[in-house]
Every structure is written in C-alpha cells, then in structure tokens.
Amino acid sequence: MKKKVYVPALSMLLALSLSACATQPDSSADSKGSAKSGAKTKLTYWTNDRSDADYIKQVIAKYNETNKDNVEVELNVMADNYDQSVDIAFASKQAPDILRVDFNKVVPWVKKGFLSPLDSYMSEDMKKKFASTLVEEKNIYEGKIYSLPNVGQMWRLIYNVDLFEKAGIKEPPKTLKELVEVSKKLTEAGKSTGAYGFAGNFKNTSAIDRVAYPIATLSGTGVVEGYNLKTGQYDFGAYKEITEALRQMKVDGSMLPGTEGLDIDPLRAQFAQGKIGMYINHSAEPAVYKNQFPAQIKWAAAQVPTIDGTVKGASLVNGGAYLSISKDSEHKEQAWRFLEYMYGDEVQTGYQEGGYGVSILPHVTAKAKKANIPGIEGFNPTKYDAIYPAAPTLIIEGKVEGMKKSDALTKYMIQGGDLDQVIKDLNTRYNAALDKAKAAGDTQAKANPSFDPAQVQGTLAK
C-alpha cells in the first residue's frame, strides 16, 4: 500500500530531477531535423556514467543526424540515485527506452521485469563476435542475453612515482609483506609533506572487496567476492592475509588517517596532490587524472601484489554489461538499431582511443590505437587479466542476516579483534543466505570442481 501512495510523489520528484540533470539535445538540431523529416520517434537513454558524457553526446549527435529510422535519441545523465530513479520510473510507467546497466544489476533488473532480451535482434555473426565475453548472471540470465559488454575494470596498484623515488624504492610491491613494508617507507619519506603510504575509499561498502578480490584472484584462490567457484561455497578465509595486511598498515600509521570515511573522489583528489603513496582501483583512473583531478605528481599503475609473490591465477576483470533495452519500451526495434550503432567498431574503438575505458572485446583492442592519455598504458589487458564466472553475492546479500562482508572486514581493519571468528561468522551467514537464494530460484550458482584459476589466464590478451 505504501508504494502505491508514494509513487506519484516520487515520480514528480524524479521528473524534476531529470529536468535538472539531463543532458538535453541541441534545440537547433531538433528543429532542423523536424523541418527536414517531420516528427521523429524519440528514444530516451539513461546513464549514470558522467566521465564519458562528452564522447557519448558526440556519438549520439552523429546518430541523430545520420540514422535512417527518423529516430532522435535523448541522453539523460543521472547525477545521483540512479538505481532509485530507475525503480521509480518503472513503477510509474515512465521508464526510458535504453538503460546503462552494470553487470551486477542485470539479474536483479531482469527479475524486476525491467529488461528485454536481445537474442531475437542479434545476428548469428554478432553473437559469435561477442561469444567469448558473455557470462551467465553477468550479461546473460537463464540463457538469454540482456546486455553486451564493452569495457572492463582492469584492477591495478596505482602509485605515486615521485614519492617512491623520494623514498628510494625502485619498484612497486609484489607481495603483501612488501606492500606493508613499502607503505611504511613511503609514510616516513612523506612526513614533511603530510603524505601517507596507502589509502582506500573505505567509506564505500565495496571498498575492501576492491582491494581483496584482485589480489585473491591473481593469487589463484579462485575466490570472487568471497565465493569459491570450485566448491560453490563462501570462503572468506581467502581474504584473511589480505585483511591482516590492511590492518597492519592501519596499526603502523602508514594508512591515510580517516581513510575509513573516505569516498573515491576525495581519495583521488588527495592522490592527485601527492598525499597518498598507493591505492588499488581500476582503469577509470587515467581519465580522472587528466580531466577531473589533474595530477600534480608523476604516477603509474602496476599489477596488484599477490599474497606470496606467486601468480597462480588472473586478476578479476569486472565487465559483462553496458546497454540494455527497457521491457516497457514501445520502440524496441529502433532501440536495438541504436544499440547496434553503440556497440559498433567505430564507436567502441573511439571510446578506447579517447581513454574513456579499456575494452574487453578482442575485435576492438585489435583495431584501437593507443589512447593519448597519461597512465593508460598501465591498464592495458595482459595475460593476467580475465573475466571470471559470476559470483552470486549481489543476489544473496539481501538475504544475509547481520553485518555484510565489507562492513565486517573493514571493522576488523580499523578496530582489530578475532579475524578467524569474523571469517567463520561470515562463512556461516553467507552460505545460509546462499542456500535460501538457491531454494527460492534466485541464483543458479553451483560448484565447479574442475575450475582452475590458471586456465583463465590469457583469455583477454592473446
């Protein structure tokens, strides 16, 4: 009952917010198009991506000028509360035709009835072109394709070259032990300028995962977001040594003070000013340090360290979804032709060459020229970057009773305690939630006893 009462009011707020944050089409182009060909079919496209908005506006403008379907696409860049806005839009029958969808939203949004399958629109050639990058419960659900991939998040250790040189450190750390030691040395070298060795945006509930799963997957644990792909069970023991290393840096005083309350943009601003020696994040950073927070330091990116210095797997690449068609759209055929354009080689190659992201599509990386943007070379896919099968974590977290994994591990990092007990408790609660999700039919995740992390090496960079 409450939902029915409040949806109209929320819809009105949504409409107001859209008028404030939308990227509106050029009015002169609008009138020019109407004069030439009469009333056009308008498609609305919602995205929460702001970093690439200038490029996307350009390619949409070209599409609006050149498409043969008498279609005009209107881009709305949602500044905040994107997921909530999508929920409200569908509830109030104001959904857009095309949505930007993250890989971890595909299953929830399909189950809510938001997305339309793409299979019937795709040619066999197109299916073959994307086949190597399609993953169940990332961009596929119950055998149907709901979104195709474009770029991926290549996780790296991002480091302050100037501070490394000042501390006399020749190369980035390759083990957790070295990570802790280097962080101490950087902090000592940075005393005069107020710089610290390590930081994380630990205000974000997923931040500790963003440190743990690249290290854990590269180390060959086969554990993604706490989920062991081989056993089909949650096993946060794979994160023990990583969490201990973070705790040690906190105890040593070599972690930026207040990092537990830091969000990603304030962290980036501090790094750009030379106040942070190292942090772990993905391939969005080169564009950030060129445009959003111009770097005042020399910086670079390196492979994340492993637990013991041995590479036994590959670093998880987050990717698998990009654009989807709304199930409520009255113009699905036209929306699909726009998606074909957006996924075409010209647009995707231009995206990578512009430094907006690193493609996970072999046919794009083979054609794209090197982006003219400092630092991007450190994020190019290597044999140690790979797309893994999906973990059911996002699907089950709503069923987990008590403190979520990131909160529990971050609390230990800050306060200490009995980590073995924390891990045991997480395993118990997450596996109980997994059982509930399976019983409800919310996930098809199951054990893969033959899964070998070493075998995913080389799947992106041949």
CATH of residue 336 = 3.40.190.10
**Residues comprising the chain, all counted:** 462
Q: Is residue 71 part of a domain?
A: yes
Same domain (yes/no): 169, 246:
yes
Domain boundaries, position 86: 2-151+319-373
Confirm if 396 and 442 have CB atoms less than 8 A apart. Answer: yes
Total domains in the fold of the chain: 2
Q: What is the pLDDT of residue 27?
A: 36
Domain boundary among 327, 353, 373: 373
Q: What is the pLDDT of residue 363?
A: 85
Q: What is the pLDDT of residue 38?
A: 66
Q: What is the pLDDT of residue 218?
A: 97
Q: Kindly tell me the burial class for residue 75, based on how many C-beta atoms sit within 10 Å of its own C-beta (0-12, 13-18, 19 or more).
A: buried
Same domain (yes/no): 160, 294:
yes
Q: What is the pLDDT of residue 28?
A: 34
Per-residue model confidence as pLDDT tens digits over 407-459:
999 999 999 999 999 999 999 999 999 999 999 888 889 999 999 999 999 87
Low-confidence ranges of the chain (pLDDT < 70): 1-38, 461-462
Confirm if 72 and 40 have CB atoms less than 8 A apart. Answer: yes
Confirm if 239 and 409 have CB atoms less than 8 A apart. Answer: yes
Q: What is the pLDDT of residue 373?
A: 86
- Measured in whole angstroms, the distance separating CA 270 from the mean position of its chain's CA atoms is 22
Q: What is the pLDDT of residue 414?
A: 95
pTM for the predicted model, two decimal places:
0.82
Give me the residues paired with residue 457 across strands. Answer: none
Same domain (yes/no): 17, 113:
yes
Q: What is the pLDDT of residue 461?
A: 60
